[in-house]
Amino acid sequence: MNARWTLRRIIPAFFVVMAVTTLGVAARAGDARFTIPYGPDLRHRVDIFMPDPPKPGMRRAAVVYFHGGGWTIGSRVLNHHIGRAIMEMGYVAVLADYRLYPFVRFPAFVHDGARAVAWLRRNSEKYGVGRDRIYLMGHSAGAHIAMLLALDPRYFNRAGVPMHAVRGVIGLSGPYTATPTRTLFRPVFGGLANPQVARPVAFVRNVGPRLLLLHGGADLSVPPKQAREMGRRYRDAGGEAKVRVYPGANHMQLVTSFAQSERWRHPVFKDVKSFIGPPSGRRRFEGIQRGSRRTIRSLELDRQ
């Protein structure tokens, strides 16, 4: 997320996504449910894709996905191909919208993400999801939201979600290390007394779930060095992080690569499925380190 990351690049890219993914969705039968409210705002909506209708006793893994768009544009509807791809993997996909600038500013959209996860946990039996088998995934701005949820416990604490509920985070082309108040998106984050609270990398000592950071080697919007630095610093803090940079991939190709017709370009689908593992399997969770409290106290949110 630097000076080259502009809406002039992001807005046309969404039309590309619409064209590519509409023609190349996964053709597998399943159970899909749309426009389900998880909160009071019109943007508090999720669409759910399930490989099979839920049955009593099901504890399937679920992936909560946050779309990109520079915190200013975007919709879950443009990412239905990702929901179908996750469903094809055998998991439950929950595509969540969140409020956007200029209607809200940081950290309101991160709180929306926490609210969506809390809603899923409350309704886990209804959709056949394991309450503690939730993965977060996001693209670009959505990856920023997912990473803050996993590493800064104040969002989940406020929403009543235990940190161990999230088993892993998958970041696609995410801005993890830049200071947003120094970019063209500073109005979205304006007024912060401490801009560090908006940087996921500032919370790496709050070691939590496993991370999978996927990035395009030809990404001119968010340089791949952000994924590399985030992964390195998380591992240095004692966490588990895997970074993969796809040569030649641009900012939006990590989204379009979920479509069946585009999977040959980059193995994003395969890497995500391998990271999560069996739909009903178990993964060990390390949890938040006790030694992280000093970091948590030093970074106070100044806007609720």
Q: What is the CATH number of the domain that holds 102?
A: 3.40.50.1820
At 98, the pLDDT band (50, 70, 90 cuts) reads very high
Q: What is the pLDDT of residue 6?
A: 41
Q: What is the pLDDT of residue 293?
A: 35
Kindly report, residue by residue over 243-286, the tens digit of the pLDDT.
999 999 999 999 999 999 999 999 999 999 999 999 875 444 44
Answer whether residue 304 is part of any domain: no
Cα 119 to its chain centre, rounded Å, is 16
Above 70 in pLDDT, residue 295?
no
Above 70 in pLDDT, residue 36?
yes
Answer whether residue 2 is part of any domain: no
Residue located via tokens 């894709």:
49
Above 60 in pLDDT, residue 47?
yes
At 183, the pLDDT band (50, 70, 90 cuts) reads confident
CA nearest neighbour of 31 among 8, 11, 55: 55
Answer whether residue 237 is part of any domain: yes
Provide the number of structural domains found in the chain. Answer: 1
Q: What is the pLDDT of residue 281?
A: 54
Q: Residues 214, 227: contact at Cβ < 8 Å?
A: yes
CA nearest neighbour of 276 among 137, 176, 179, 124: 137
Answer whether residue 1 is part of any domain: no
Q: What is the pLDDT of residue 221?
A: 95
Above 90 in pLDDT, residue 289?
no
Per-chain mean pLDDT for the chain: 87
Above 50 in pLDDT, residue 151?
yes
Answer whether residue 162 is part of any domain: yes
Q: What is the pLDDT of residue 93?
A: 98
Mean pLDDT over 30-35 rounds to 91
Which stretches within the chain are classed as H helix? 7-23, 80-89, 108-122, 124-127, 141-151, 153-159, 225-236, 253-256, 268-276, 293-298
Q: What is the pLDDT of residue 190?
A: 85
CA nearest neighbour of 40 among 141, 112, 148, 118: 112
Domain that holds residue 165: 7-298
Q: What is the pLDDT of residue 18?
A: 47
Q: What is the pLDDT of residue 182?
A: 83
Answer whether residue 226 is part of any domain: yes
Least confident of 14-18, 149-153, 181-185, 227-231: 14-18
Whole-model pTM: value is: 0.87
Q: The dihedral of CA 6, 9, 12, 15: what is its sign?
A: negative
Q: What is the pLDDT of residue 2?
A: 41
Least confident of 63-67, 158-162, 191-195: 191-195
Q: What is the pLDDT of residue 262?
A: 97
CA nearest neighbour of 198 among 180, 172, 223: 180
